[in-house]
Structure 1
Amino acid sequence: MPAAREIGMMGAALALTGGVACAVCYLMRAHKPEKRAKEEAHQTTKTSTAQKQPIIKEPRTAGTQVLFLGLDGAGKTSLLHCFATGSLEQDVSPTQGFNAVSINKEALQIEFLEIGGTENLRDYWQKYLCKARLLVFVVDSADAERFSLAKHHLHQLLPADPCLPLVLLANKQDLPAARGITDLYEALELGNVGDGHRLSVIGTQVKKGKSETNTGVQDARDLIIEMMSGD
């Protein structure tokens, strides 16, 4: 069975509406009609001003890219290579800057943008969120000492777009020290990512020389294609 787990957490906004109507009548026999007419005109002006429609900003246009992020050494470049070619025939060099990959599936063209995970490149992550339709975050599941760092950066990203779907790849599942997706879910506190995010967690592994793509990698690729092809 594929090591995949999808947790849909669609939030419902709770709206509270309430109104209190209060009418007070004053009997002002001592006031002249002219003064009362001026007061009524002033009140009409205030009411008209209060009823003006507020300025509503246009919603952000949905992005078109799959943003591929994660700490350095998580295996992002190898996974992208497998997504594009179906296997990993040779070692790939870690991404030192930006890596763009295009995958065509029938009439669908998906643009992946990988940004390196070294400390000097992490500042660029949030700047590219506005172009993303989907965020894929890769974690080295065998490097437990850096789970807290990965959690820190992931939770910094998510509030910038509360409705951005998230696919978390628990990579390197073939290593002896690898943590399962349940442990990783808890370590990264994914239960607190926000109600609006559609969240999927999939275990993956990439081995050089394998002619067939790992089941988890294929599941992740298929899920991303499905999410990008949906409305």
Structure 2
Amino acid sequence: MSKLTILNFCISKKTALILGGLGTLAAAYGIYRFIQSRHQPDEYFSTLKWQGGSSQRRILVLGLEAAGKSRLLQCFQQNSYPGNILPIPEPSIGYNIHSVGIGGVDYHFWEGRGTSEQSMQYLGIPSSVDMYIWVVDSSNPASFAKSRAAMHKFLDMCDRMTLSESKDCLSMVGAPLVIVAAQQDVEGSVSAADVLYEMDVDAIQHKHKVYIVGTQLPDVGQRKGLWRLYELVAYAEQKRYTPCIPAPSESDVD
């Protein structure tokens, strides 16, 4: 074998090693990117099938006016991708029902501002729900006290209505509560943890499992918090409790 042949062989071998190394590096990087993508929140539900099924979940979405309820539900829809511009939501009048099938489950969202017994009874609110979502505008601290009072009043009303109609407490009492700290992307907004503190949930945690989610849902651009909310809506278990129902007195028996 001539020196020239040996030289060409060595160069070809080295080139093959370099190319092989680059190919291995590219494959490893591809695997790394795949693993990383599996751990990234799917804020646009791109990995889910937009199809319902035999099971369903009913969710009440409530909060003060302009808290961000309608914007939240705009994101629970098909064909919503990065770059799409979300329209400005119109104010809610009474209760709106938003139904969508995701991942083989039918989700029915009742959205509104009504927190009175009359609105619950006459505006088509279900007598059984799987979850409450209470939306708070985290960029407006002046509204926290009003929102906190309305939330506690509403939950107390639901519990009383349920106990008067269902002694086994399987309709509304004990449904988990998700507090959504909306508009986290607005400058000067209060953190989700501080919003949870302001809502004073200690008085209701013996009856409702409470979660907190901070969301950033701009008209266009990167979303945050929506995937975590979906996980809770889809999988959060209800924490039920059996309240002490006073025994009838002798006068009641007579």
Q: Distance in 2 between matches of 1:180 and 1:74?
A: 15
Between 1:76-85 and 1:88-97, the stretch displaced more is 88-97
- TM-superposed deviation, 1:89: 2.6
- TM-superposed deviation, 1:75: 0.8
1:61-72 correspondence to structure 2 within 5 Å: 64-72=57-65
- TM-superposed deviation, 1:64: 4.8
Structure 1 residue 141 corresponds to structure 2 residue 152: no
Task: Name the residue aligned to 1:164.
Answer: 175
- Quick check: 1:139–1:168 contact (8 Å CA) kept in 2? yes
Q: Distance in 2 between matches of 1:201 and 1:207?
A: 19
Q: Deviation string for 1:82-134 (max 9, x for gaps)?
A: 1224455322212122211112123211111101x3xxx33256543633221
Structure 1 residue 196 corresponds to structure 2 residue 207: yes
Q: Distance in 2 between matches of 1:202 and 1:106?
A: 21
Between 1:132-141 and 1:153-162, the stretch displaced more is 153-162
Q: Amino acid of the residue matched to residue 179 of structure 1?
A: V
What fraction of aligned residue pairs are identical, expressed as a percent?
Answer: 24
Q: TM-score, normalised by structure 1?
A: 0.63
Task: Name the residue aligned to 2:226.
Answer: 217
Q: Distance in 2 between matches of 1:154 and 1:89?
A: 28
Q: Distance in 2 between matches of 1:191 and 1:90?
A: 37
* Structure 2: segments with no counterpart, 5+ residues: 1-39, 42-55, 160-172, 239-254
Q: Deviation string for 1:21-60 (max 9, x for gaps)?
A: xxxxxxxxxxxxxxxxxxxxxxxxxxxxxxxxxxxxxxxx
Structure 1 residue 81 corresponds to structure 2 residue 78: no
- TM-superposed deviation, 1:158: 2.2
Q: Distance in 2 between matches of 1:147 and 1:89?
A: 26
Q: 1:125 to 1:168 in 2, by over 3 A?
A: farther
Task: Name the residue aligned to 2:107.
Answer: 110
Tell me, what secondary structure is at the counterpart of 1:132? coil
1:17-96 correspondence to structure 2 within 5 Å: 64-85=57-78, 86=80, 88-96=85-93
- TM-superposed deviation, 1:172: 0.5
The alignment of Structure 1 onto Structure 2 pairs a total of residues equal to 163
Q: Distance in 2 between matches of 1:188 and 1:144?
A: 11
Task: Name the residue aligned to 2:127.
Answer: 130
Q: Amino acid of the residue matched to residue 181 of structure 1?
A: A
Q: Distance in 1 between matches of 2:181 and 2:231?
A: 16
- Quick check: 1:73–1:94 contact (8 Å CA) kept in 2? yes
Q: TM-score, normalised by structure 2?
A: 0.58
Q: 1:84 to 1:227 in 2, by over 3 A?
A: farther
